């Protein structure tokens, strides 16, 4: 994939910064809870719940970066053995499948967040609005769908350029 435009680079840097800040916050909270529990015999009772929510956001934000870098785990033996033209079609099909699944998850997770928001549901111990952990899904899938749409566009443009090159060689 070509170098991203400046706004995309800024968004990627913001995602990386948020991911780093969340990991550091999780480590600090976990350390504080351990010290409180084993040194002062006063654990932070809401820490475990908040750490789970932090981990949810870390996983989902990390998934957006993995999608951008096209580094998802996949069975790629066939891909490596296939000729270039077949590889291009396999990339296109996998991108379209991921784009369709991602769009579906985006819509459904948005509905869940809207439902949770309408009920005002809060977490049991920390009393954090549940739209915060549930919100990680539509946010991350919106970014992933945008990345996949951009990748699909790149495939189409590259395919059109490739087809033009093929026809010019035929003449």
pLDDT digits (tens, 9 = 90+) for 43-67: 999 999 999 999 999 999 999 999 9
What pLDDT, on a 0 to 100 scale, did the predictor assign at position 114? 98
Within-domain flag for 1: no
Within-domain flag for 96: yes
Domain with 43, as residue range(s), is 6-170
In this prediction the pTM is: 0.86
What pLDDT, on a 0 to 100 scale, did the predictor assign at position 163? 47
The pLDDT-based confidence of 76 (bands split at 50, 70, 90) is: confident
Within-domain flag for 63: yes
Within-domain flag for 51: yes
Q: What percent of the chain has pLDDT over 90?
A: 70
How far does Cα 152 stand from its chain's mean position? 17
What pLDDT, on a 0 to 100 scale, did the predictor assign at position 2? 63
Least confident of 36-50, 79-93, 157-171: 157-171
The pLDDT-based confidence of 169 (bands split at 50, 70, 90) is: very low
pLDDT over threshold 50, residue 77? yes
Within-domain flag for 139: yes
pLDDT over threshold 70, residue 116? yes
- The domain tally of the chain equals 1
What pLDDT, on a 0 to 100 scale, did the predictor assign at position 99? 96
CB-side exposure of 75: number of CA atoms within 13 Å? Answer: 1
Q: Find residue 129's DSSP bridge partners.
A: 122
What three-state secondary structure class fits 3?
Answer: coil
The pLDDT-based confidence of 161 (bands split at 50, 70, 90) is: low
Within-domain flag for 56: yes
Phi, psi (deg, nearest 5) at residue 122 = -125, 155
What pLDDT, on a 0 to 100 scale, did the predictor assign at position 170? 37
113 within 8 A of 131, measured Cβ to Cβ: yes
What pLDDT, on a 0 to 100 scale, did the predictor assign at position 10? 94
């Amino acid at each position: 994939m070509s170098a991203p435009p400046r706004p995309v680079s800024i968004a990627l840097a913001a995602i990386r910064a948020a991911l780093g800040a969340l990991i550091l916050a999780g480590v600090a909270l976990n350390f504080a809870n351990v010290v409180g529990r084993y040194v002062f015999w006063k654990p932070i009772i809401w820490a475990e719940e908040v750490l789970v929510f932090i981990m949810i956001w870390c996983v989902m934000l990390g998934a957006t970066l993995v999608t951008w870098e096209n580094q998802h785990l996949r069975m790629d033996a066939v891909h490596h053995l296939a000729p270039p033209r077949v590889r291009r079609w396999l990339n296109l099909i996998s991108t379209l499948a991921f784009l369709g699944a991602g769009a579906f998850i985006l819509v459904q997770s948005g509905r869940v967040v809207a439902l949770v928001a309408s009920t005002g549901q809060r977490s049991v111990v920390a009393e954090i609005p549940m739209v915060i952990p549930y919100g990680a899904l539509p946010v991350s899938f919106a970014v992933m769908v945008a990345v996949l749409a951009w990748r699909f566009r790149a495939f189409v443009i590259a395919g059109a350029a490739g087809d033009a090159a093929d026809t010019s060689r035929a003449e």
